[in-house]
Amino acid sequence: MNLLVALDALLAENSVTAAADRLHTSAPAMSRTLARIRRVLGDPVLVRAGRHLVPTPRALELRAEVRALVERAHAVLTPAGDLDPATVTRSFAVQANDGLVAVAGTRLIAAVRAEAPGVTLRFLSESLEGTSALRDGRVDLEIGVIGHVEQEARVEQLLTDRMVGVVRPEHPLARGRVTPRRLAAADHVVVSRRGRSHGPIDDRLAELGLQRRVVATMPSLSASLLMARDMDVVCLASASLGSATVKALGLRMFELPLDLPPLAIGMAWHPRNDADRVHRWLRDRVRQVLRP
Q: Summarize pLDDT for 145-202 with one digit per residue, the tens.
A: 887 777 888 999 998 989 999 999 999 999 999 999 999 999 999 988 777 888 899 9
- Cα 25 from chain centre: 26
Walk along the chain (292 residues) and give the pLDDT tens digit of each residue. 889 999 999 999 999 999 999 999 999 999 999 999 999 999 999 999 988 899 999 999 999 889 888 888 887 777 666 788 999 999 999 998 877 887 788 889 999 999 999 999 999 876 656 567 888 888 999 998 887 777 888 999 998 989 999 999 999 999 999 999 999 999 999 988 777 888 899 999 999 999 999 999 998 888 899 999 999 999 999 888 777 788 889 999 999 999 998 889 999 999 989 888 899 999 999 999 988 6
- Cα 146 from chain centre: 11
CATH number for the segment(s) 1-77 = 1.10.10.10
Q: Measure the CA–CA gap between 281 and 291, rounded to whole angstroms.
A: 15
Q: Look up the pTM and report it.
A: 0.68
pLDDT of residue 79: 66
35 membership: H or E segment, kind and range: helix 27-41
Which top CATH class is 85-161+262-292? alpha beta
In terms of DSSP bridges, do strands 154-161 and 213-218 run parallel, antiparallel, or are they unpaired?
unpaired
Q: Summarize pLDDT for 269-291 with one digit per residue, the tens.
A: 999 898 888 999 999 999 999 88
- How far CA 86 is from CA of 89, 144, 191, 229, 243, in Å, comes to 8, 27, 39, 42, 32
Instruction: Rounding to the nearest 10 degrees, give the CA dihedral for residues 187, 191, 193, 195.
Output: -10
Domain ranges of the chain: 1-77, 85-161+262-292, 163-261
- Cα 58 from chain centre: 28
Residue 85 DSSP code: G
- How far CA 35 is from CA of 3, 10, 25, 165, in Å, comes to 10, 12, 16, 54
pLDDT of residue 278: 93
266 membership: H or E segment, kind and range: strand 263-269
pLDDT of residue 177: 94
Domains 1-77 and 85-161+262-292 share a fold: no
Homologous superfamily (CATH) of 163-261 is Periplasmic binding protein-like II (3.40.190.10)
Q: Measure the CA–CA gap between 241 and 166, rounded to whole angstroms.
A: 13
